[in-house]
Amino acid sequence: MPAGDTLSPQTTTPTEIIHVDQRVVACDGGGGPLGHPRVFLRIPGREVMCPYCSRLFVVNEGVPPADGH
């Protein structure tokens, strides 16, 4: 590797971006039997990516912060 080059962490490109109005979302990958097990994802900040299908869930403006429950 040439001097000055560094390894950067691999970033995942979202397969789909979904805007939501809640802090907990369910994702099953869509596509019925071609999807994945249903998972519930908490969104403590602005966005979260599904670890199975790489859908990116983005919280819309005006949604209050998570209450910690």
Find the domain containing 45 and state its range. Answer: 16-59
* 22, part of any domain: yes
pLDDT tens sequence across 32-67: 888 999 999 999 999 999 999 999 999 999 998 876
Order of strands, sheet of 55-59, starting from the edge strand that comes earlier in the sequence = 16-20, 55-59, 47-49
Number of domain units in the chain: 1
Residue 49 belongs to a domain with what CATH number?
Answer: 2.60.260.40
Looking at residue 66, what DSSP letter applies?
Answer: P
pTM, two decimals, is 0.76
How much is the pLDDT for 68?
Answer: 58
Residue 4 within any structural domain of the chain: no
pLDDT surpasses 60 at 8: no
Residue 31 in any domain: the answer is yes
